[in-house]
């Protein structure tokens, strides 16, 4: 089963286009949890348990685990292992390097960590992307139009559309997607026009303040899975009490329902 087939099944079963980002920050984790590997894993697994009914996918961001060294990577590997296999896992690694190095990155994220999909940077060109695309059953989300303020330094006015055109060309296996930030819905419409039917991974709606309704209108392409909306901090850290996981579940349900409500009005 390919990544996008697995994702389609998950969207059907949950009626959700929500991707829950798993970005652990020690300073924000509830104080009653121990500051250990076990405490970190407990925090994340309880979040997964309470939000999974509303999540089409989970997206651990590798950097939040790498900062903790070997112990953090062990937590990441165990977290992915314990997420139910029917739920797609996107490894938010943003890799991209010369060909041989990209081969190693691709092997790590897909074979060592066993992610179903990955985020990659296109800046070094086609030969940095091909090792990821060679895993035809895995999903490859290429950074195209990111949600951070300084994205304008390089991506605008034209580079983001050049990325969209190139990824469309490389998408011979149908396993490509694009990362486009909800903070720029006008530009998202231009990406959609350029790439046609291709899934978008959309950050920037929660804590970054992107406009959900405008983004939905810009991103929709009439296909069954035109997008996944990622939310991390606005779900993980909505509450710091002993009930943090339950409150995270409530936040995930609310976001899932907001997306569906807006979709009905398209």
Query: Are 119 and 94 spatial neighbours (Cβ–Cβ below 8 Å)?
Result: yes
Lowest mean pLDDT among 106-110, 123-127, 201-205: 201-205
Residues involved in catalysis: 94
Q: What pTM did the predictor assign?
A: 0.96
Secondary structure (H, E, C), 242-258: CCHHHHHHHHHHHHHHH
- DSSP one-letter code for 27: G
H-state helical runs in 26-113: 37-51, 62-66, 70-82, 99-107
Tens digits of per-residue pLDDT, 168-213?
A: 999 999 999 999 999 899 999 999 999 999 999 999 886 666 789 9
Q: Is the separation of the CB atoms in 148 and 184 below 8 Å?
A: no
Percentage with pLDDT > 90 across the chain? 89
* Model pLDDT, residue 208: 65
pLDDT at 65: 98
Question: Which CATH class name applies to 3-264?
Answer: alpha beta
Closest CA to 124 of 163, 96, 93: 96
pLDDT digits (tens, 9 = 90+) for 74-94: 999 999 999 999 999 999 999
- pLDDT at residue 207 in the model: 61
| Cβ 45 vs Cβ 246: under 8 Å | no
Peptide bond preceding 157 in cis form (omega within 30 of 0): yes
| Sign (positive or negative) of CA dihedral 212, 215, 219, 222 | positive
* Domain extents in the chain: 3-264
CA 201 vs CA 69, 70, 102, 178: distances in Å: 28, 29, 21, 6
Please give the Cα distance from 220 to 2 (Å, whole number).
22
Whole-number average pLDDT of the chain = 95
């Amino acid at each position: 089963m390919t990544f996008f087939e697995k994702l389609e099944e998950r969207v059907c079963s949950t009626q959700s286009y929500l991707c829950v980002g798993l970005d652990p920050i020690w300073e924000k984790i509830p104080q009653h949890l121990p500051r250990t590997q076990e405490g970190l894993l407990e925090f994340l697994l309880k979040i997964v348990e309470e939000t999974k009914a509303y999540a089409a996918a989970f997206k651990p961001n590798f950097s939040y685990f790498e900062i903790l060294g070997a112990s953090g990577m062990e937590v990441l590997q165990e977290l992915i292992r314990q997420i139910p296999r029917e739920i797609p896992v996107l490894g938010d690694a943003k890799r991209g390097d010369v060909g041989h190095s990209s081969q190693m990155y691709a092997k790590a994220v897909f074979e060592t960590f066993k992610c179903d999909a990955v985020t990659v940077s296109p800046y070094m060109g086609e030969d940095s992307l091909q090792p990821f695309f060679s895993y035809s059953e895995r999903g490859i989300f290429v950074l195209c139009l990111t949600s951070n303020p300084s994205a304008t330094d390089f991506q605008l006015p034209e580079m983001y559309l050049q990325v969209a055109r190139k990824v469309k060309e490389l998408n011979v296996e149908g396993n490509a997607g694009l990362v486009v930030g909800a903070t720029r819905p006008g530009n998202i419409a231009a990406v959609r026009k350029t790439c046609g039917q291709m899934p978008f991974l959309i950050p920037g709606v929660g804590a970054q303040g992107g406009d959900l309704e405008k983004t939905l209108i810009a991103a929709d392409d009439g296909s069954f899975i035109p997008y996944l909306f990622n939310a991390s901090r606005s779900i993980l850290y909505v509450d710091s009490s002993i009930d943090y996981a339950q409150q995270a579940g409530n936040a995930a349900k609310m976001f899932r329902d907001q997306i569906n409500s807006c979709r009905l009005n398209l």
